[in-house]
Structure 1
Amino acid sequence: MSWDTELTAVTSRIADRLFKRPEPKATFGDLVRRLLADVPRKNSWQLADHVGHPTANPIEWLLARAKWDADALRDDVRAYVVEHLVSTDGVLIADDTQAIKKDDRSVGVARQYCGLTGQVENCQVMPMLTYASAVGHAFINRRLYLPENWADDEERRKVAGVPERVTFATKPQQVIDMLEEERRAGTPFRYLAADSGYGRDLGLRAYCHTHQIAYVMAVPVGLPLLDVRGSGERAGHVLDRLLAHADPGLWERRSCGEGSKGRRAYDWAAVAVALAGQVPSGGHAHTLLIGRSVSDSVDVEFFLSHALTGTPITELITVAGLRWKIEGNNETGKDLLGLTDYQVRKWDGWHRHVTTAMLALAFLAVSRADLGDQTTPEPVPPAADQGKDPRHRESLS
């Protein structure tokens, strides 16, 4: 089946479930197709011009005023991704991305930390959830973060169409909510992966412990731990002790996959740890993974894993590396598919545009998987101690 025929089949099947009338079905198909097209900036006017519409009214009406459920589309995107990309090694990856905006009238826009620039910007923050496996990776869920000054402002909420059920929630809480939706939907996954903004959150970790969800999440150097005497210490102290031993056998060189700057080769150490105030699920154990960059010894990352006792450390390192897949989704979504090129201001319009862009990304991921277009990893140069297993060399539990 050709690319064009498959895209028509996918969009038509979904549109038949979302809409009753032929006009929105046709506009929806046009929108997905044009998000995938070579259009410089994918706002309503440029997309309409590419379709050949005299105005942007059909697309703007679809996103802002038509009656349809963006969550139903999200469910279809999830089902499509799981159907084609599911694998026994499937991982859910949580991260947030940002859309820089000039005005403060669009829903959720406020001066807040922006990961794109590393400083405070006028922007929207979007926690996203990716499904990743050896077959491919794509977004399956999304949230729009509402800062407290938005969530508590009844007038702004009313103008932006924010539903009454929506209250202030931290970004980690929004990830918890998405995980609960994935559990209810039966999404098959083995691990949750995330960066330190989520790994440091007590509530998210507690949710995973309660529901026996395995995870590998980046954590800060100051993560509170317990030493062998039950006294408090930090993750950084574990690294200090490993370096003081000066034993190369404690480290193993491996790649954790592709990052934003290319192949990520690290020397890894793994230590069994106990968390202050948190215990793992039954049959699970906590392990602190420490990765030192081969090219820059100052570049050190800490990961906390919660996995079945006896899980190979190599498996945990692989999961840590998969965290970067969501960066690829963010970049592709923004650079190629107009993920943040929307001109909508209200709650419904935001969810409709972003979820439609998620469908476009899912279609690309599935098409690539069908073509067998998987990048072959470059070999990692061996370290002198390659092949040794440093697991549990030092027990803090």
Structure 2
Amino acid sequence: MGLHGMSGDSESRFESYVEDLCRAVRHADRAAPLRAYCLGLMLPGDRKSVEPMAARVEPGRVQAAHQSMHHFVAKADWSDEAMLAAVRATVLPAIERHVKLRTWIIDDTGLPKKGVHSVGVARQYCGQLGKQDNCQVAVTLSVANDHASLPIAYRLYLPEGWASDPARRHRAGVPDDVTFRTKPQLALEQVRAALAEGVAPGVVLADAGYGVDTAFRTGLSRLGLTYAVGIQSTASLWRPGEAPLPPKPWSGRGRPPSLVRHDPEHKPVSAKEMATSLPPAAWQTVTWREGTNIVLSSRFAAIRVRPAHRDTLHSEPRPEEWFLVEWPEDEAEPTKYWFSTLPDDMKLADLVEITKLRWRIERDFQNLKQELGLGHYEGRGWRGFHHHAALCIAAYGFLITERSLIPPSGLCSAPIRQAPALPDGYRPRGSARPA
């Protein structure tokens, strides 16, 4: 079996890459299905489920290859976390060949799914569809610089209905130690694990689904990490220079009051109210990225404020941080809001440029879904779901290392590999019979 369409140098690098990953699957006899699965994910084809991939990779022995690859992804006892760690160890030096890593990006990705039996499937918001629908959702942590990014953690979000249903858990093989966690809680667990494993810290970026969670932001700060995270227009904050009132004076009886407070004459405002009250001079047009066909720019303002949500549960005001707002000139009101703990002397253009780096993760998952079949796994179990995702990221990691050999000015998508001819009469399982 050759590496179809690869140059001799690329083929040699792929073999070396797979050899590095083999340590994560623990047994030498798993090297062949690991290699075949990664290759199958990179070859062109409409479906990246096991049987069609087996036919492309091993057209002369489809059934045997299918059985081997299926067992490897769905049944074999190897750690997807160990696989992602092996990918990270190999790929991050390549990503940093030209530019150091700058950010950690937290996000979640929805995988549309029919039926109700696949692990974690529920009617919930699916970003790929832009609406509520039946899907699985995975929480991810990626590392990125201006030129490349790589997911380094990937965990299925298990809705409460699944987490509390012993029968469904058992059928899907959900481990006993997996309990219900909100998406921000899962993200914080991934961040803690990355720090424990020695991943170089970066500015944490996340959308408002995470940034609105005060405990999430507080958790990042306690870990010593800087963030720039989205918030909603309803988020509460203090005007510049303001803070909650000190605790009430002690009456001399009982415990002295210790919590800060609000009152009707001294209370925080919403993010939208704060943004719309800013003077015209506060707004600047900032260009944050120039592509080959488009220049991305908009109007922004940034001021120092104190977040106010539930601050009356604390004895001290929260520290000041940046409140960043985007308000395009052609919009009737602001469109996006962020809190950020980046340095207080940071220039607005730099604050915007770092915050907007979150776009990289959207490209990653577009490639992972459209080119590498992230959402094509047909099994229903917990192990297979995570194994398939880890192998998709492993294949993607190899393509990133290939692109890293090109200077940044010439970066482009890796070439599509040529698939071998399918055997005469081959028909994917479940497809319609020819007329």
Give yes or no for the alignment of 1:268 onto 2:300.
yes
Q: Quick one: distance in 2 between partners of 1:239 and 1:16? A: 52
Q: Quick one: distance in 1 between partners of 2:383 and 2:33? A: 17
AA of the residue aligned to 1:171: K
1:83 aligned residue (93, 107, 113):
93
Give yes or no for the alignment of 1:213 onto 2:249.
no
Contact 2:322–2:344 (8 Å) recurs in 1 = no
1:301 aligned residue (336, 339, 355):
336
1:101 aligned residue (106, 113, 116):
113
AA of the residue aligned to 2:271: A
AA of the residue aligned to 1:18: V
Give yes or no for the alignment of 1:224 onto 2:260.
no
Q: Quick one: distance in 1 between partners of 2:91 and 2:201? A: 12
Give yes or no for the alignment of 1:313 onto 2:313.
no
- The aligned runs of 1:244-263 (5 Å cut-off) are 245=279, 247=280, 249-257=281-289, 263=295
1:262, distance to aligned residue in structure 2 (A)? 6.0
1:303, distance to aligned residue in structure 2 (A)? 1.3
Q: Quick one: distance in 1 between partners of 2:395 and 2:353? A: 27
Counterpart for residue 160 of structure 1: 172
Q: Quick one: distance in 2 between partners of 1:48 and 1:90? A: 38
Give yes or no for the alignment of 1:32 onto 2:67.
no
Counterpart for residue 380 of structure 1: none
1:66, distance to aligned residue in structure 2 (A)? 1.7
AA of the residue aligned to 1:275: P
Contact 1:108–1:144 (8 Å) recurs in 2 = yes
1:229, distance to aligned residue in structure 2 (A)? 6.1
- Residue by residue, what CA displacement relative to the aligned partner does 1:208-237 show, whole Å, maximum 9, x if unpaired? 121221011111111111233642111111
Q: Quick one: distance in 1 between partners of 2:38 and 2:319? A: 43
CA pair 125-229 structure 1, distance change in 2 beyond 3 A: closer
CA pair 71-229 structure 1, distance change in 2 beyond 3 A: closer
Contact 2:108–2:140 (8 Å) recurs in 1 = yes
Identical positions, percent: 27
Contact 1:34–1:50 (8 Å) recurs in 2 = yes
Counterpart for residue 74 of structure 1: 84
After superposing on structure 2, the runs of 4+ consecutive aligned residues of structure 1 that deviate more than 4 Å are: 294-299, 373-376
Give yes or no for the alignment of 1:200 onto 2:235.
no
Give yes or no for the alignment of 1:363 onto 2:395.
no
Q: When the two structures are superposed, what TM-score results if normalisation uses the length of structure 1?
A: 0.87
- The aligned runs of 1:1-397 (5 Å cut-off) are 2-22=9-29, 24-52=30-58, 53-55=61-63, 56-86=66-96, 87-227=99-239, 228=242, 230=244, 231-242=267-278, 245=279, 247=280, 249-257=281-289, 263-276=295-308, 277=310, 285-294=320-329, 296=331, 298=333, 300-374=335-409
1:174, distance to aligned residue in structure 2 (A)? 0.6
Structure showing greater radius of gyration is 2
1:186, distance to aligned residue in structure 2 (A)? 1.4
AA of the residue aligned to 2:56: H
Contact 2:112–2:135 (8 Å) recurs in 1 = yes
AA of the residue aligned to 1:136: A
Contact 1:284–1:308 (8 Å) recurs in 2 = no
Q: Quick one: distance in 1 between partners of 2:226 and 2:243? A: 27
- Comparing 11-20 with 180-189, greater Cα deviation is found at 11-20
1:93, distance to aligned residue in structure 2 (A)? 0.5
AA of the residue aligned to 1:126: A
Q: When the two structures are superposed, what TM-score results if normalisation uses the length of structure 2?
A: 0.80
**Alignment partner of 1:273: what SS?**
strand
**Alignment partner of 1:134: what SS?**
coil
Task: Name the count of aligned residue pairs.
Answer: 369
Contact 1:88–1:189 (8 Å) recurs in 2 = no
- Residue by residue, what CA displacement relative to the aligned partner does 1:182-202 show, whole Å, maximum 9, x if unpaired? 110111132000111011111
Q: Quick one: distance in 2 between partners of 1:339 and 1:148? A: 24
CA pair 262-363 structure 1, distance change in 2 beyond 3 A: farther
CA pair 263-331 structure 1, distance change in 2 beyond 3 A: farther
CA pair 77-224 structure 1, distance change in 2 beyond 3 A: same
Contact 2:276–2:334 (8 Å) recurs in 1 = no
1:258, distance to aligned residue in structure 2 (A)? 7.4
Q: Quick one: distance in 2 between partners of 1:368 and 1:321? A: 23
Counterpart for residue 391 of structure 1: none
- Residue by residue, what CA displacement relative to the aligned partner does 1:32-79 show, whole Å, maximum 9, x if unpaired? 112111122111111011012322211111011222221110111222
Contact 1:27–1:58 (8 Å) recurs in 2 = yes
Contact 1:258–1:321 (8 Å) recurs in 2 = no
CA pair 263-128 structure 1, distance change in 2 beyond 3 A: farther
Q: Quick one: distance in 1 between partners of 2:288 and 2:211? A: 18
**Alignment partner of 1:73: what SS?**
helix
**Alignment partner of 2:379: what SS?**
coil
AA of the residue aligned to 1:101: K
Contact 2:39–2:57 (8 Å) recurs in 1 = no
